[in-house]
Amino acid sequence: MRTGIRRTTAAATAGLLLLTGTLPQASAQPSSTSATARPNSVPPDLPPNTAPPADEGKPDVKYERTNKGCVESDTKSELIKTMPWGQVQLNLEQAHRFAKGRGVKIAIIDTGVDPRNPRFGNRVVGAGEYVDGNKNGLDDCDGHGTEVAGVAAAAKTEGDFVGAAPEATILAIRQTSDRFEFKGDANNEKRGSAGKVGTLAQAIVRAANADAKVINISLTNCGAPKGFSADDQKLQAAIRYAVDVKNVVIVTAAGNLSDQGTGCAAQNNNLDPNTVNSVSSPAWFANDVLSVASLARNGDVSSFSVWGPWVSIAAPGEEIISVDPKGTGLTNANVTAQGVQDIKGTSFASPYVAGITALVRERFPDLTARQVMNRLKATALHPGNVSGKDNKIGFGMINPVAALTAVLPAEAKGFQKPQPKEMNTAVTPPPGLDWPPIIVALSGIGIGVGLLLLTLFVRNSLNRRRGQPV
């Protein structure tokens, strides 16, 4: 960095937050008459004409504040002396020559977004609340959602740090929080944190109806394949509604490995990609979302990033710098129960992709959500294998400049993928053998050889008569 920037630390969860609720099953339970079981890496098909869930716009139960303190800045700050490597790697400065997200709304469904950091300006709008019914998404006791929003859309003020879409509007929707709990009642079990799969589905519908063009979900419900619940189907229906009816691109974190109960317990290192140990939702709805893996500075997939056939694309997810959730500066670390830790996770790779998606939506406003997703995957830096895709980083690291400048024939109006066609060109067969000339030629050769042998015989006979040695 050419100027010093305050480094602050915050007591926020840097990893993914678990949503409470039934974990999705990666395969439908076959009936006794079912012919073929579905692979456990693929969700069941959504029944035709399934309506999205109704958005109640409020918490599903009454959550209460825990005794955990909210995010606090570290007053003994240091200076951040380097520009975020992810910002450099993605060449955001060049990308911003083409678009900055102006006029595009990015919904951040998370722990809320605190709008007071000056890098947000007046671009944060309270859009929904599913934790505390008296709020509107603009409180963030955890700090996670504010940091995610900073990566996606913080503007440049002092120094060189900038979010991926610095002129986009941020729709703040608080759907989860580790600082709230539900103590249980006769109908519902106790929950150690706020948030449920059902309210995530409602939040997606709410964001779509608020004219968001991009939704970022840095939240994951992860576990071994289990039963596909009614809430899981609501989530699937909400996603499909947002994408196909409201034309929204949904970007979601691929998931983190963790043995602390805040992520996936087992890596999907199976030889068979159709069989997985962990299901990460909503990432596994691969046909309808962009699921984002995390990359380290050296270009390798991060050790904590969950693999899976649903992974779409990758972005930097380590050594993250973002806005301070409760101050006016920046932060590159969080205070957790384990001490001060660098900010990292697929949670923070996802908003890079969400912000870049906003740039593409500004530059190509006529593209549908699915065309935008295809453009981002087609222009990514593909892994070096035959298919150009793998289960670790999907189609590869997102390439903002290429996504904003490439000409893709598939986007042309009326374009149809070329299909092989039968050729009608007449091909003349090789001529048959003309036997009379061949017979004459062979006969001539035979006669010539015979005359030569006769000449040699006569010469030999004459030499014998004259007494000359043969």
Active site residues: 110, 144, 347
Closest CA to 392 of 302, 459, 461, 322: 302
The string of DSSP codes covering 191-234 is BSSB-BHHHHHHHHHHHHHTT-SEEEE-EEEEES-----HHHHH
Place of tokens 């053998």: 433
Say what angle helices 346-363 and 144-153 make with each other, to 10 degrees: 40
Q: How far apart are CA 253 and CA 346, in angstroms?
A: 5
In 94-248, the DSSP E strands lie at 105-110, 124-129, 169-174, 180-181, 214-217, 219-223
Q: Determine how β-strand 313-316 pairs with β-strand 290-295.
A: parallel
Is residue 70 classed as helix, strand or coil in its secondary structure?
A: coil
CA–CA distance, 406 with 146 (Å, rounded to integer): 32
Tell me the C-alpha distance between 159 and 387, whole Å. Answer: 41
Q: Which amino acid is at 203?
A: A
SS3 annotation, 328-360: CCEEEEEEECCEEEECCCHHHHHHHHHHHHHHH
Nearest to 358 by CA among 349, 347, 369: 369
Determine which helix (DSSP H) or strand (DSSP E) holds 64, and give its type and residue range: strand 64-65
- Could you report how far apart the first and last alpha carbons of the chain are, in Å? 105
